[in-house]
């Protein structure tokens, strides 16, 4: 009797044998998970705060403005989607606004998918590079900058750039989706010409990066109407399958 009493008083009540039941284990695990997730979540927030803290005030203002624009865009999109849904759900005859938006959505999907030829105003960036100084990574940068400046469709040397397109390097030659691009390069982009031109021409931007390379000249010119071809190989999934969202 004395022995057990001693044993009992030495162990903290939490670890006393005999209290190990499924309920206790669950309590322990639940607590541990909560503590673990709390720290993980705080680390995420801290890592974000640290990242933001190393930006300048100007950068932070730019990020904030971008997020506010994004919130506005998302709200507009929500409105538009609700109108379309209402049009589809309430009657078999879509009302005019919903029908118009549905048509717009279909045509936007075709442009984004790269399955059709596209036309519109935009810019052409011409790059002469006799000594093959421009690498595939510079091309990736140029395309990203154009997209950042609002390019809705892009092509290089008559080859359309799609969502899954990639640039490669074959010796001194640049390839786009496996097709070899020939110098001089012509990058055509449809979108707001003024925004794209000023976007590329900011100090330290794509134009600067291109012209800094030896013997490379780069020029950008606006056009009222450009036509871009569709993707030569329409996108097809080999490993991915759509997650069923249909009825």
Partner 1 sequence: MLVAFGVLVGVLVALLVQPSVPQDLSRYVAMAVVAAIDAGFGGVRAALERTFNDRIFVAAFVLNGLLAAGLAWLGDQLGVDFATAVVVVFGVRIFQNLAAIRRRVLGG
Partner 2 sequence: MCALASFGFVLAAHASRAAGQAEAPRKAELIQLVQSSQSNVNTLDAAVRRLRSELAAAELGQARTERLSADDARRLAQLVDAAAASPVAGPGLTVTLSDSNNVPTGTADSSAYRIHDQDIQLVVNSLFAAGADAVAVNGQRIGATTSIRSAGDTVVVDLRPLVPPYRVDAIGADRDVFLRSDISRRFARWTTEFGLGFDVTSQSHLNLAAFSEPVTLSAASPAGG
Are residues 210 and 143 in contact, defined by beta-carbon separation less than 8 angstroms? no
Under the criterion CB under 8 A, does residue 166 sit at the interface with partner 1? no
Under the criterion CB under 8 A, does residue 28 sit at the interface with partner 1? yes
Among 7, 16, 24, 107, binds partner 1 (CB under 8 A): 24
Specify the residue, 26 or 194, whose C-beta has the smaller distance to partner 1: 26
Span of 26-34, 56-64, 158-166, 211-219 interacting with partner 1 by CB under 8 A: 26-34
Query: How many other CB atoms are there within 10 angstroms of residue 145's CB atom?
Result: 20
Among 1, 3, 6, 40, binds partner 1 (CB under 8 A): 40
Residues in contact with 4: Cβ distance below 8 Å, sequence separation at least 6, in sequence order: none
Strand partners for 125: 187, 220
Among 7, 11, 26, 49, binds partner 1 (CB under 8 A): 26
Span of 24-32, 50-58, 143-151, 194-202 interacting with partner 1 by CB under 8 A: 24-32
Minimum Å gap between C-beta 44 and partner 1 is 5
Q: Minimal CA–CA distance to 194: which of 121, 129, 141?
A: 121
List the single partner that 198 binds among partner 1, partner 2, none, CB under 5 to 8 Å by kind.
none
Question: Cα(176)–Cα(155) distance, rounded to whole angstroms?
Answer: 10
- For the segment 41-100, give every residue that binds partner 1 (CB under 8 A): 41, 43-44, 47
Specify the residue, 13 or 236, whose C-beta has the smaller distance to partner 1: 13
Question: Cα(111)–Cα(161) distance, rounded to whole angstroms?
Answer: 11
Minimum Å gap between C-beta 120 and partner 2 is 4
* H helix or E strand, kind and range, residue 189: strand 185-190
User: HSE on the CB side for 125, CA within 13 Å?
Assistant: 29
Token pair, residue 237, equals 């999934």
Minimum Å gap between C-beta 34 and partner 1 is 4
Residues in contact with 201: Cβ distance below 8 Å, sequence separation at least 6, in sequence order: 207, 220
Specify the residue, 14 or 96, whose C-beta has the smaller distance to partner 1: 14
List the single partner that 51 binds among partner 2, partner 1, none, CB under 5 to 8 Å by kind.
partner 2
Specify the residue, 47 or 217, whose C-beta has the smaller distance to partner 1: 47
| Helices 96-113 and 57-90, axial angle in degrees (round to 10) | 120
Q: Which residues sit at the interface with partner 1, rule CB under 8 A?
A: 14, 23-24, 26-41, 43-44, 47
């Amino acid at each position: 009797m004395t022995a057990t009493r001693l044993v009992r008083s030495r162990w903290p009540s939490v670890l006393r044998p005999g209290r190990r039941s499924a309920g206790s284990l669950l309590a322990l695990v639940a607590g541990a998970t909560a503590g673990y997730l709390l720290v993980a979540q705080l680390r995420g927030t801290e890592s974000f705060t640290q990242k933001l803290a190393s930006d300048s005030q100007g950068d932070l203002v730019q990020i904030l403005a971008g997020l506010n624009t994004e919130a506005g865009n998302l709200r507009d999109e929500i409105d538009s989607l609700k109108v379309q849904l209402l049009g589809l759900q309430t009657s078999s005859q879509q009302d005019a606004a919903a029908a118009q938006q549905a048509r717009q959505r279909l045509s936007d999907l075709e442009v984004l998918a790269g399955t059709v030829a596209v036309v519109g105003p935009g810019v052409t960036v011409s790059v002469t590079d006799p000594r093959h100084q421009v690498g595939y990574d510079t091309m990736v940068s140029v395309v990203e900058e154009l997209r950042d400046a609002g390019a809705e469709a892009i092509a290089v040397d008559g080859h359309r750039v799609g969502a899954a397109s990639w640039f490669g390097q074959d010796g001194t030659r640049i390839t786009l989706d496996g097709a070899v691009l020939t110098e001089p390069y012509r990058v055509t982009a449809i979108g707001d010409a003024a925004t794209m031109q000023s976007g590329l021409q900011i100090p330290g931007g794509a134009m600067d990066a291109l012209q800094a390379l030896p013997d490379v000249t780069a020029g950008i010119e606006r056009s009222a109407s450009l036509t871009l071809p569709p993707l030569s190989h329409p996108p097809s999934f080999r490993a991915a399958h759509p997650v069923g969202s249909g009825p």
